[in-house]
Amino acid sequence: MKWGILIGLWLALLVYFVWECFQFLPRGEKKELWVFGGWLFLVGILISVNIHSSAADPRFAELFLRLFY
């Protein structure tokens, strides 16, 4: 079930990226497209981590404190 949601998420992000390509490229905004694509990729990873974690899994704060303290 979760893998289905993750695949759907990345497909949706890909469709969104392609749509934005049609907004940026006609204006010649290649640098803006790179920044957008990079940020979209990082957001995709963040959402994937959120979806994959269950309520009992440690979050960023707990993981950070376990690693360093």
Partner 1 sequence: MSNKSSELSSHALSAREAVAVVMILTFALDIRVLPLFATQPAGHAGWLAVLLQFGYMLFFFHIFYKFLISFSGQNFAQIAKTIWGRTLGFFVVFSYILWLLLILSFNINMFGARLSHSQYPGQNKAMLIAIFVVFAVIVVRSGIVPIARMTRLCFFMLVTIFIILIVLWLPSFRWENFMPVTYLDLPNAGLSSLKVLYTGAFSVLILVLSDKIASLKNIRRIGFKSITLLSGLKVCVVLAAIGILGPQLISRIPFTLNTMINSIAFSSSLERIDSFLGVLFTVAEFMFIAIVSFCFLHLIRSLFGLDRMAPYLILLALSLFFGGNYIGNTFFALHELEEAFIYPLSLVMGFVIPLLLYVTGKIRRVVQ
Half-sphere exposure of 28 (CA within 13 A, CB side): 0
Shortest approach of partner 1 to residue 42 CB, angstroms?
A: 8
Binding of partner 1 by 65 (CB under 8 A): yes
d(Cα 33, Cα 25) in Å, to the nearest integer? 8
Q: Work out the angle between the directed axes of helices 30-52 and 2-24 (0-180°, nearest 10).
A: 170
Q: Segment 44-63, which members bind partner 1 (CB under 8 A)?
A: 46-47, 49-50, 53, 55, 58-62
Q: Segment 18-37, which members bind partner 1 (CB under 8 A)?
A: 20, 23-24, 29, 31-32, 35-36
